[in-house]
Amino acid sequence: MNFLAQTTSTTTTTTGVTFPTLVLTAMVWSAVVFALAALLMPNQTQDQLRRIKSLGSTGAGAALFFAIWAVETQVSDAAGGTGGIPGGDLVEQHSWLSSFPIASSYHLDADGVALSVILVVSVVFFCAALAAWRNQRHVKLLTVCLLTLETASLGILVSYDWVLFLLFWTLAIVPVYVLARAFGPGHGTRVATRYAATSLVSAGLLLLAAVLIAFQAGAHSFDMGVTPVSLPGDGETVAFWLITAASLLAMAVVPLHGALLDLEEDSTGVLSAIFAAVLPSLGAYTLVHVAVGFFPTTSGSFSLFFAVLAVVTVVWGGLAALRTDDLRRLIGHVGTVFMGLVLLGVAGHTSIAITGIMFLLLARGLVIGVLMLLASLIQERTRRVRISQLGGLAWQAPFLSAFWLLATLAAAGVPLLAGFAGDFFIFTGSFPAHRWASTVVLAGTLLASGVLVWTAQRVFLGASRDTFERARDLGPLELTYIGILVGLIVLIGVVPGHFAELFQNGAGYILFPGVA
Amino acid sequence: MPAPNGMAVFATMLPTTLLVALAAVGGLLGWLRPGLPPSFHRWLGALALVGAAAAALVVLRGVALANGVGLAAYAGGVVADRFSTFAVLLLCGTGLLAILTSGAAEERLGPRLPAYHALILTATAGGAILAVQVEMGMLVVGLGIVVISLVGIVAMEKTAEAPGVAAFRSLVSAGVALALMLYGLAIVYGATGSTDLAAVRGQFLHSAPLEGLGLALTLLGLAYLVGAPPLHHWMLQVASASSGAVAGAVVSIAVAAGGIALVRVMVSGFSATMHPWVVVAGVLGAVACLYPALLSLVAGSVRRLIGFGACLQGGLVLSALVGSGRGGGLKPAGGVIALLFGLVVFVLAIQASFQAVARLEEDGIGGGLAGVRGLARRSPMAAVLLSLGLAGLAGLPPLAGFLVRILVASSAVAGGYAWVAVAGVAASAIYAVAVLRWIGAAYVEDDELPVVPHRTPRLASVVGLACALFGVVAMLLAGPLLYAADGAASVLR
């Protein structure tokens, strides 16, 4: 038996030596390697704590480096039609569990949807690792859990085998739970447990779907590379709904949003940014890549369900954002509205709409990440979480205010910022199929954007308050990580074409896998 | 399986004979020379188990040279084949872990330590008989040896009241289990006229309710060892009352021996084609998964939590059994492979968890939620052991218990019992929630209690940590382990 039967793509050097491409492996595992190193480090003195933080930043930086490498490789291949679809330069496959009747392999690959989320995840984690330099509580725990969560998140995005996919999906639950308990307030246990229970339910649903697909598809394999999947009888519908339910739980769409919103509200800034920017995106990726990608016909036949759910989610999210007085919860609601847009894109079921989802996921992660980090900086400076207690901060913190406003405009879908392309493509792609739903969702999105602008006015404008006289503006470290995120928001807004072909190829593969 | 009878008898019974002989030597030396140091008995026991494992490998070589299938002795009542080799290796490994970690219970066992080691060897020998038997008489003998040895091990800690009560309850449960199994076997014998399991299979009538009842009673009796309801209380009692090392030894040997007996009797003997027992196993497996998982949410001590976890593993063993027949396309459903791989993983997770309990005891830390709070700061090694052990029992990644759950669910679905898979997955998720609560408390709820000095024997600590880390290694080396399990399972088809 050959345990390492290899079907990995290879790279040939100038010396003629070939070696397997390991970009995705390096990207996924680099963070956890640094986590293990941090775990073994002593954490008694300030110097030792600084070393642990350095390991955290370096680990996240290494993952970001390989993520950019992977994305750019695919961007350059996109013009030739191979970038953004599986089976390209990045594929890695090694036999793993060949002795079991349903075989499994170490199969990594990435399509357009995955690459858009990979970029967001790696950038947000890197910025979070930089932001965590100011943290003094549970330093080792925070570093190890963040890096483990990054490995799990990236692993979900590149797994092309059900066993691996489920492994990473479930692995992500543990660090989120521990972090939520460590950094949550008094009732952190309840919030963390609720989220863990929700996530474990979604993992269980995915496991059942995986087993059903592996068994009924007839291939006797857990490999996810063969799409679309054709199952006999009602198997296809059952598997589709199992995956969809798991994805919707992770995306935190209405009415399944409570656990994640509580988690975002109760965590510290760095964690809120990761929880809000990364976790729902993983659910959206699963919905688009797995549920729609495996069952394009079945998902198309249920497009009305997604349209209705999109309307409910966006309207509820917009109204809840209008009503809330908590800054972080407001951003959470705006994140929910974005997820409603993803649902509308799925309901549209066209290449344009799916392309829009990829742009939206890219923009959403960056925008929500910036807003959450800024919200935590505001809270840190003012010791206030209520919007009604804030005001006039623009005089003390002009950079902070400017960045908030820019992120707000990006969330509203203003041209030349990252949010525009996603909104534009999703509405263009969905309008012909669901006119009323698209119109209502557009109204809901405008409502959420309006709330964000109104919030900016209430928090930053108005007369300068004596209470916040000593609130300082962003320091060099904060300018660095916020600047990276905002820079990307502007860059993607100015040159969306850089990713256009990549995402179009990915969308084509998801809806018409046989053709692509 | 033609082979000279003398050679076959020697081959099939060699590991058992070696274990019983060295158990007798160790017990006698402990009685006649009480001054011998505990380490002597420990290494003697380890030597016996390593010798038995080596003997099993030699026998496997002999089987390969003889006919490649197996050697039968005692008129076909026992066979030595690849399955028995796998089983004996697993049992010897389990026994070895129990022996090497006995240092943590040395104080409580006192002068009874040699007898404790001897009983571990006899329990392993009983398990080895269960691995080679294919006949009702040998089954009863093997099960009897295992059960009596395990009850004896629990009773060794008679200095405290709780272990004594646990031993008594274990004895009562064991008596009921043996009685159920004997009634079941008697009914099957009465209906078919044979004690040979292969012959029974040939004469089995699907429509006969009496035979179905016999199979169900046999299964219920055997399920006692893996802690499945309704005879699961003994396992919870042992987990709660005995010291960590003793509870780890008893529960892990019981699960290993029980799993092996279930495979040999139900799969190799009765086979999955005899539908009634598979349905009973499915129902029993689903209940055995869900019941302890739900109770674990209100577990008040880490010992109870681990006890529920051990019962859950038993439920997964039964769930894997329902996938022991043919799946789609006439390929094997893979239940036996999943079960054998699972047994390796379960034994190590149980040992790791109870070693964490032993460590908490030695370090004077309570086993309640209050005692576990802030454990990572007060006793980092205990926290690592506890979290890895519990995560292993819950099947949280990156530990191999996670993979076992996927394999068990796959085989149950392939065998046509999707509802058993749903129950197993749901129970695992529920138990994971309970476990996360305790792991979270150990790492994040820091209080101002002082750092605890480390008092656990070095060998027990190292073995406990190795068991915990093996969960990760088994995930990486799942390919070779499944290959070995597949080899063992192939002779049962």
Chain B residues with beta carbon closer than 8 angstroms to that of A197: 429, 433
Nearest to B433 among A100, A193, A215 (CB): A193
Q: Which residue of B has its CA nearest to A189?
A: B437
DSSP assignment string, B295-361: HHTT--BHHHHHHHHHHHHHHHHHHHHTTSSB-GGG-B--HHHHHHHHHHHHHHHHHHHHHHHHHHH
Give the Cα separation of A485 and A236 in Å (integer): 40
Question: Distance, in angstroms, between A340 CA and closest chain B CA?
Answer: 28
Dihedral, A155, A158, A160, A164 alpha carbons, nearest 10:
0
CB pairs under 8 A between A and B: 127
Question: Distance, in angstroms, between B478 CA and closest chain A CA?
Answer: 7
Q: How far, in Å, are A151, A154, B404, B475 from residue A167 at the CA level? A: 11, 12, 12, 10
Percent of chain B as helix, strand, coil, to the nearest 5: 80, 5, 20
Interface residues of chain A, partner chain B, Cβ below 8 Å: 1, 3, 95-102, 138, 141, 163, 166-168, 170-171, 173-174, 177-178, 181-182, 189, 192-193, 196-197, 200-201, 203-204, 207-208, 210-212, 214-216, 218, 220
Structure tokens given for A296: 């394009």
Residues of chain A with pLDDT under 70: 1-20, 186-188, 227, 514-516
Residue at B210 is within a domain: no
Residue at B453 is within a domain: yes
Cβ burial, residue A237 (10 Å; 0-12/13-18/19+)? middle
Q: How far, in Å, are A177, B101, B148, B246 from residue B22 at the CA level? A: 49, 19, 18, 20
**B426 in contact with A, Cβ within 8 Å:** yes
**B24 in contact with A, Cβ within 8 Å:** no
How many C-beta atoms lie closer than 10 Å to residue A514's C-beta? 8
**Beta carbons of A171 and B398 less than 8 Å apart:** yes
A451-455, B60-64, B68-72, B313-317: which range is least confident on average?
B68-72
A9 phi and psi angles, rounded to 5 deg = -70, 150
Nearest to A196 among B329, B433, B486 (CB): B433
Q: pLDDT (tens digit, 9 = 90+) per residue, B99-116?
A: 998 888 887 888 889 999
Question: Per-residue confidence at B311, pLDDT binned at 50, 70, 90?
Answer: very high
Residue at B447 is within a domain: yes
How many C-beta atoms lie closer than 10 Å to residue A383's C-beta? 11
Answer whether A85's CB lies under 8 Å from A1's CB.
no
Answer whether A442's CB lies under 8 Å from A309's CB.
no
Q: Which of B104, B160, B120 is nearest to B356 (CA)?
A: B104
Q: Which amino acid is at B353?
A: S
Number of H helices, E strands in chain B: 21, 2
Q: Best of A215, A216, A238 to disrupt the B interface by mutation (most B CBs within 10 Å)?
A: A215
Q: pLDDT (tens digit, 9 = 90+) per residue, A43-87?
A: 888 999 999 999 999 999 999 999 999 999 888 888 777 777 887
How much is the pLDDT for A2? 37
Structure tokens given for B337: 């492979």
**Beta carbons of B482 and A95 less than 8 Å apart:** no
Output the CA angle A247-A252-A256, nearest 5 degrees: 95
Q: How far, in Å, are B15, B52, B85, B94 from residue B58 at the CA level? A: 10, 10, 9, 20
Structure tokens given for B26: 């160790």
**Beta carbons of B396 and A197 less than 8 Å apart:** no
Q: Best of A104, A199, A200 to disrupt the B interface by mutation (most B CBs within 10 Å)?
A: A200
Question: Distance, in angstroms, between B351 CA and closest chain A CA?
Answer: 22
Q: Which amino acid is at B25?
A: V
- In terms of residue numbers, what domain contains B365? 272-493
Nearest to B334 among A96, A100, A212 (CB): A100
Output the CA angle B104-B107-B109, nearest 5 degrees: 95
Answer whether A94's CB lies under 8 Å from A4's CB.
yes
How much is the pLDDT for A17? 54
**B410 in contact with A, Cβ within 8 Å:** yes
Nearest to B479 among A97, A171, A201 (CB): A97
Question: Distance, in angstroms, between B315 CA and closest chain A CA?
Answer: 17
DSSP assignment string, A423-440: HHHHHHHHTTT-HHHHHH
Direct distance between the N- and C-terminal alpha carbons of chain B, in angstroms, rounded to an integer: 15
**B408 in contact with A, Cβ within 8 Å:** no
Q: Best of B330, B406, B443, B490 to disrupt the A interface by mutation (most A CBs within 10 Å)?
A: B406
Question: Distance, in angstroms, between B36 CA and closest chain A CA?
Answer: 40
Structure tokens given for A185: 């307030």
Q: Which amino acid is at A144?
A: V
Residue at B131 is within a domain: no
Q: pLDDT (tens digit, 9 = 90+) per residue, B231-274?
A: 888 999 999 888 889 999 999 999 999 999 999 888 877 765 66
Answer whether B358's CB lies under 8 Å from B108's CB.
no
Query: Can you list the alpha helix ranges (DSSP code H) found in A351-432?
Result: 351-382, 393-396, 398-411, 419-430
**Beta carbons of A101 and B332 less than 8 Å apart:** yes
Return the residue matching tokens 């392993």: B124
pLDDT at residue B452 is higher than 70: no
Cβ burial, residue A443 (10 Å; 0-12/13-18/19+)? middle
Question: Distance, in angstroms, between B408 CA and closest chain A CA?
Answer: 10
How much is the pLDDT for B269? 73
Direct distance between the N- and C-terminal alpha carbons of chain A, in angstroms, rounded to an integer: 34
Q: How far, in Å, are A30, A332, B465 from residue A369 at the CA level? A: 22, 11, 39
Structure tokens given for A101: 């009747």
How much is the pLDDT for B450? 65
How much is the pLDDT for B451? 65
Q: Which residue of A has its CA nearest to B376?
A: A141
Q: Which amino acid is at B15?
A: P
Residue at B107 is within a domain: no
Q: pLDDT (tens digit, 9 = 90+) per residue, B389-412?
A: 999 999 998 899 999 999 999 999
- The structural domain count of chain B equals 1
Residues 457-486 of B with CB under 8 A from A: 478-480, 482-483, 485-486
Q: Which residue of B has its CA nearest to A94?
A: B479
How much is the pLDDT for A135? 86
Question: Per-residue confidence at B170, pLDDT binned at 50, 70, 90?
Answer: confident
Residues 156-175 of B with CB under 8 A from A: none
How much is the pLDDT for A152? 97
How many C-beta atoms lie closer than 10 Å to residue A240's C-beta? 24
Residue of higher predicted confidence among B74 and A278: A278
**B444 in contact with A, Cβ within 8 Å:** yes
Angle between helices B380-394 and B302-321 (to 10 degrees): 30
Q: Any bridge partners for residue A218, and if so which?
A: none
How much is the pLDDT for A390? 87
Chain B residues with beta carbon closer than 8 angstroms to that of A201: 429
Cβ-based neighbours of A204, under 8 Å, separated by 6 or more: B425, B426, B428, B429
Q: Which residue of A has its CA nearest to B333?
A: A101
Question: Distance, in angstroms, between A8 CA and closest chain B CA?
Answer: 18
Mean pLDDT estimate for chain B: 87
Residue at B401 is within a domain: yes
How much is the pLDDT for A1? 36
pLDDT at residue B156 is higher than 90: no
Residue at B341 is within a domain: yes
Q: Is the dihedral of CA A97, A103, A109, A111 positive or negative?
A: negative
**Beta carbons of B436 and A212 less than 8 Å apart:** no
How much is the pLDDT for A10? 56
How much is the pLDDT for A427? 94
Mean of pLDDT values over B326-350: 83
Nearest to B402 among A1, A170, A177 (CB): A170
Number of H helices, E strands in chain A: 22, 4
Output the CA angle A188-A189-A191, nearest 5 degrees: 65
Chain A residues with beta carbon closer than 8 angstroms to that of B403: 97, 163, 167
How much is the pLDDT for B16? 92
Q: Which residue of A has its CA nearest to B476?
A: A96
Answer whether A370's CB lies under 8 Å from A378's CB.
no
pLDDT at residue B371 is higher than 70: yes
Share of residues in chain A with pLDDT > 90 (%): 59
Nearest to A207 among B406, B445, B478 (CB): B406
Residues 60-99 of B with CB under 8 A from A: none
pLDDT at residue B477 is higher than 90: no
**Beta carbons of B413 and A212 less than 8 Å apart:** yes
Answer whether B26's CB lies under 8 Å from B117's CB.
yes
Q: Is the dihedral of CA B335, B338, B341, B346 positive or negative?
A: negative
pLDDT at residue B473 is higher than 80: yes
Residue at B77 is within a domain: no
Q: Which amino acid is at B60?
A: L
How much is the pLDDT for A44? 84
Structure tokens given for B347: 């034994």
pLDDT at residue B454 is higher than 70: no
